[in-house]
Amino acid sequence: MIAPQTYSKAHERHASPKRPMPEVYRTSQLLRMWQGLAALEREPQPSLDDWRVCSDVVNLLESLVDMGELQDTSGLLQDAISELAQAGKRHLSTDAPLRLSAAGIQAVRAVLEDYAQALEHLPHRTMIRAHRRTEIRIRAILSGRSQPHDVEVVDL
């Protein structure tokens, strides 16, 4: 079963076209993503939610880049996508803990840092638009409508 979309077109229309997302929402997102990364780095058994939240942020940044709102300043976006996919596949095939390589940690951390900057500076409406586009793209991939550049989605 596919979860309902997080934001609707109405959410997007009503979000500020100039001001960033309200601080309480930014703080919540940032806390969750940094906790997820810390768990992937250090916990003996990181949870699927830890992996998902990092994957979600990477996918959101990819949408922002595709929308022309940001550039991949670190040059590590594709590496982060690949590393998270490999960790997910490894976990599914061997039941190994969800782990990233050292290079994967570096790539994911760089992308999360870029996303944190975007969250602080881009308008709330832009962030919601990126979230909506990301959910639509992920749903399309899960229903078999992937594009040539898409990395296989691991549904954990």
- Summarised one tens digit per residue, pLDDT across range 61-102 is 999 999 999 999 889 999 999 999 999 989 988 988 899 999
Residue 144 has pLDDT above 80, yes or no: no
- pLDDT attached to residue 50: 96
Q: Is residue 1 part of a domain?
A: no
Given this model, what pLDDT does residue 141 score? 77
List the domain range (segments joined by +) for residue 82. Answer: 17-142
Burial class of 90 by CB neighbour count within 10 A (0 to 12, 13 to 18, 19+): middle
- Residue 5 forms part of a structural domain: no
Q: How far is CA 144 from CA 13, 14, 15, in A?
A: 30, 32, 32
Within a domain: residue 152?
no
Number of domains in the chain: 1
pTM of this structure:
0.88
Q: Is residue 99 one of the residues assigned to a domain?
A: yes
Q: For residue 12, is it within any domain?
A: no
